[in-house]
Chain A
Amino acid sequence: MLDLSNISKSYDGQALLRGISLKVRAGQTVCILGPSGSGKSTLLQIIAGLEAPDSGHVLWGRQDLGSTPAHLRNFGLVFQDYALFPHLNVFENVAFGLKMKNGFPGKATLRVHEVLQWVGLLGFERRSVIDLSGGEQQRVALARALAPRPRLLMLDEPLGALDRALRETLLDQLRGVLRAARTPTLYVTHDQDEAFRIADRVLLLHSGRIVRAGSPADVWAHPGSAWVAEFLGLGDVLPGTIVDTGTHVQTEHGTYALSCGHHHKRGELIHVLLRPHGAPSGTVIRGIVRDVFFQSASYRVMLTNGLHIEVPRAPRIGGVASGNVTPECLGRDRNS
């Protein structure tokens, strides 16, 4: 299906994308997760044919799309600000792609109704898109992109402009729609909750490179680098040196026994992730409480030495608290 190889792009001499390669297989939802300004939107524009890469290839199967203009690629694109046509009503917006493709035959009306039903907007056909709420506009944009049966759907921060409650609802609806449409999907977001909930596969984009790829569970369990661990907020990341026979790491906060099972050499410099958890295993961290904040099932505590732990009951600020963390090595530190 979609196959990107070595895509690079720079703006005004600043490299934005450096050698991006990825694949999206049939029926798969792939999520590109990265902070704002990491070039996610540009990557989608390149795939859609709205921007040309400086180097690299966009392939569909074995076909190179380099010379295929945007309107012949049949890739659907949902924009962050929806980009609905303000002069057309809901029906005309959704029918736009069908009209461009085959001059709008009679059965196209059926297709418009079908996709409007998927997004729960049947009966909205004659409404002006300007009068719709943000969530409704977002769903019209999704229906518009799906109507011409694109072979790939791309969503660029589709829920970015909506409030949290609405985002939750729409995210579940979106999963349903994507399953119904069975279209391979590339989903771009800066929000990890969104990414982990919707994706079959997550790609983390950092300064123009994909720094980690894998299933949500895999990426969560094995972040693989200090940047990913910090971006996902998995715990405290500390630099350290391997001591003893390679089983312990020495940091400014103390020496921890590693539980990763890798083979480390004495004297090696690594980053260690102290992942807090509620279970009574791993290493115990103790300290004076500087701050406490509530986190759905437990309390996250910041100690005066800067480290974090999770505890079931809220301790007193200024008092002593202790909790368990699992020290994990973050690989051979490519990102230091």
Chain B
Amino acid sequence: MTTLATIPGGHTSRLGHSAFRRAALWTAPLIFLGVFFFLPLVRILAFSLRLDVFTGPNLQLAFETLAFTFYQAAISTALTLLVGLPAAVLFAHYSFPGRAFLRAWTAVPFMLPTVVVAAGFNALLGAHGWLNVVLMRSFGLDSAPIQWVGTLGAILVAHVFYNTTIVIRIVGAALSNLNPGLVQAARSLGADSRRAWWNVILPLVRAPLTAACLLVFLFDFTSFGVVLLLGGPSISTLEVQIYIQAMQLLNLPLAALLSLIQLLCTVGFSVLYARFATRSTQTSPRSAALNLRRPGSGPQRLFVAGTVCVLATLFVLPVLAVPLRSVSRLDLDRGQRTELRSGFTMDYYTELFVNRRNSIFYVPPIRAAANSMGYACATVLLSLSLGFPAASALARPGRLEKFLDPVLLIPLGASAVTLGLGFVLAFGRWLMHPWMVPLAHSLVALPFVVRTLQPALASLPTRLRQAAASLGASPFRTWQAVDWPIVGRATLAAAVFAFTISLGEFGATSLLSRPEYPTIPIAIYRFLSQPGGLNYGQAMAMATFLMALTAGGIMLIERLRWPGSSEF
């Protein structure tokens, strides 16, 4: 015992890895990041810093796009707060039937792939969506009365749908950590509820509130799929403009310049967010149950009922609209005014297996599912084999790890389209190679995989292992009894995480996938951008399939997640 105590920091240094082992653990992840993240970044930089890019029209386009990106992100954030703050108060302070379910449900959109979200709002409010079809039928209209898809409004609502859960989680956690006595003290000192909120609660949740706003703003700023699928051709944010310049106008230098601007903005917001996020975690954890009460007075009941209604409408309808629409024939035949053929159908699903000559694919659309599965499996293999050593090293952190920990997270800060563009610029020659897509997906998934594995690996009970060994267990038996139950669970969770991320990834894939090898999100995008009820129905069928897979993944992760993994 005495010798142990004399070793400085005895505990960690005994358990820590040797320098050699550390180097071995870090080699593969660092090479991967260097080649597939930092090299593409350098290429983007090299492309964007050429003199001929800085022309008047280019700069004007860049400035206008940047201004619009800020504008839509600011409004989206404000609207998200408008819905999210009451929802945060609702979940932090009131208990009501279905509270746990509704709270879990509000987290679903955050995990849903962008194409599914876009499909959801399209199915609800698009030209072929439920609302328009019902209106056309009821009033005998020729064309869809609500031209909503393609407007800024559609983007804003989808952004609110996506990001409200961030406000609910971050601000809600801060609210339920507050000592309920503080408000009571303010009330007994003569503050009415408005002034108690203004003078006590607001100052105390300012840091988490700011952090939530910055995070929401960051996501709105870098949003790609939603803007591309729900915005019209006239609406383009930086992300969309990068995609248009790179893929449609083949103006790679301008795309690179826009990427650079995008990157600078996101890095700036991420740094700001990190500062507020660390400050906001300093509240003392209290029993959140103390803050929960049944709505008592009339206004409280009205508040609870109203907020629940808004949340249910906003979060449940778009999610239900997709699967329902995928099995409903709601085609309006041209020329016949009120003749609406409606009813249950499985046609959209069976059609997925047919290779039509005039279809937008060269293969049966269901091949997209097979491609996605293949890419997802490759992503799981890649990100696990890279993430495992990195997480092992991070689980017993030394000085090196303190420096490398944030480096691993940097790819999160870069937008997906920027990653894709970097690949295009750096590996244009190998772009046809089937490994390009899973490599990009692994880059996106790696931070999540590491963050899922690390707490489990760090929690490996050394004491228990020693106890097992001292009781006569062989090293294998020890590993089987102590390590495996913990590591196995976390590995499975990380694998499902990587799988789900790869399935839904749209931004990078839209730049990297080959036309004859579409993924599910790409197929949904193509179906949605083609006219015709059959294409629309197939988009819904595909989206339903992807939604089911993702939902299954989320549920698995929630069950497997090792306590202590952070949500954001």
On whether the beta carbons of B191 and A71 are closer than 8 Å, the reply is yes
- Chain B residues numbered 176-207 whose CB sits less than 8 Å from any CB in chain A: 179, 181-182, 184-193, 195-196, 199-200, 203-204
Interface string of A90-108 (1 = CB under 8 A from B): 0000001100110000000
Residue of A nearest to B195 (CB): A100
Task: Flag whether B9 is at the interface (Cβ < 8 A).
Answer: no
**In the complex, which residues of chain B have a beta carbon less than 8 angstroms from the beta carbon of A83?**
179, 181-182, 184-185
Given contacts A71-B187, A71-B191, A148-B190, contact A87 B204 (CB under 8 A): yes
On whether the beta carbons of B181 and A86 are closer than 8 Å, the reply is no
Given contacts A74-B190, A97-B189, A100-B195, contact A79 B203 (CB under 8 A): no
Given contacts A52-B296, A87-B203, contact A100 B182 (CB under 8 A): no
**In the complex, which residues of chain B have a beta carbon less than 8 angstroms from the beta carbon of A49?**
187
Q: How far is the CB of B177 from chain A (nearest CB, A)?
A: 12
On whether the beta carbons of A48 and B184 are closer than 8 Å, the reply is yes
**In the complex, which residues of chain B have a beta carbon less than 8 angstroms from the beta carbon of A97?**
189-190
Q: How far is the CB of A85 from chain B (nearest CB, A)?
A: 6
Task: Flag whether A285 is at the interface (Cβ < 8 A).
Answer: no
**In the complex, which residues of chain B have a beta carbon less than 8 angstroms from the beta carbon of A70?**
184, 187-188
A72–B190 CA distance with the chains assembled, in angstroms: 6
Q: Which of A79, A84, A86, A100 is close to B190, meaning CB atoms less than 8 Å apart? A: A100
On whether the beta carbons of B192 and A69 are closer than 8 Å, the reply is yes
A87–B206 CA distance with the chains assembled, in angstroms: 11
On whether the beta carbons of B186 and A86 are closer than 8 Å, the reply is no
On whether the beta carbons of B191 and A77 are closer than 8 Å, the reply is no
Task: Flag whether A317 is at the interface (Cβ < 8 A).
Answer: no
Given contacts A85-B200, A86-B204, A87-B203, contact A148 B189 (CB under 8 A): yes
Q: Which of B181, B191, B193 is close to A100, meaning CB atoms less than 8 Å apart? A: B191
On whether the beta carbons of A50 and B189 are closer than 8 Å, the reply is no
Interface size class of A (residues with CB under 8 A): 20 to 34
On whether the beta carbons of B181 and A81 are closer than 8 Å, the reply is yes
Task: Flag whether A208 is at the interface (Cβ < 8 A).
Answer: no
A85–B203 CA distance with the chains assembled, in angstroms: 10
Q: How far is the CB of B169 from chain A (nearest CB, A)?
A: 22
**In the complex, which residues of chain A have a beta carbon less than 8 angstroms from the beta carbon of B192?**
69, 71
**In the complex, which residues of chain A have a beta carbon less than 8 angstroms from the beta carbon of B185?**
77, 79, 83-85, 144
On whether the beta carbons of A96 and B181 are closer than 8 Å, the reply is no
A52–B293 CA distance with the chains assembled, in angstroms: 13
On whether the beta carbons of B190 and A101 are closer than 8 Å, the reply is yes
**In the complex, which residues of chain A have a beta carbon less than 8 angstroms from the beta carbon of B203?**
87
Residue among A74, A77, A86, A148 with the most chain B CB within 10 A?
A86
- Chain B residues numbered 156-190 whose CB sits less than 8 Å from any CB in chain A: 179, 181-182, 184-190
Interface string of A14-52 (1 = CB under 8 A from B): 000000000000000000000000000000010011101
On whether the beta carbons of B184 and A79 are closer than 8 Å, the reply is yes
A74–B296 CA distance with the chains assembled, in angstroms: 23
Q: How far is the CB of B421 from chain A (nearest CB, A)?
A: 45
Interface string of B21-43 (1 = CB under 8 A from A): 00000000000000000000000
On whether the beta carbons of A96 and B179 are closer than 8 Å, the reply is no
Q: Which residues of A are in contact with B by a Cβ distance under 8 Å?
A: 45, 48-50, 52, 69-77, 79, 81-87, 96-97, 100-101, 144-145, 148
Please provide the 5 A-B residue pairs with the shortest distance between their CB atoms, ordered closest to farther: A83-B181, A97-B189, A100-B190, A77-B188, A70-B187
Given known contacts A76-B188, A85-B200, A87-B203, what 8 new A-B pairs fall within 8 Å (CB)? A72-B190, A76-B189, A77-B184, A97-B189, A97-B190, A100-B195, A101-B190, A148-B190
Q: List 5 A-B contacts (CB under 8 A).
A: A45-B184, A69-B192, A71-B189, A100-B190, A144-B185
Q: Which residues of B are in contact with A by a Cβ distance under 8 Å?
A: 179, 181-182, 184-193, 195-196, 199-200, 203-204, 296
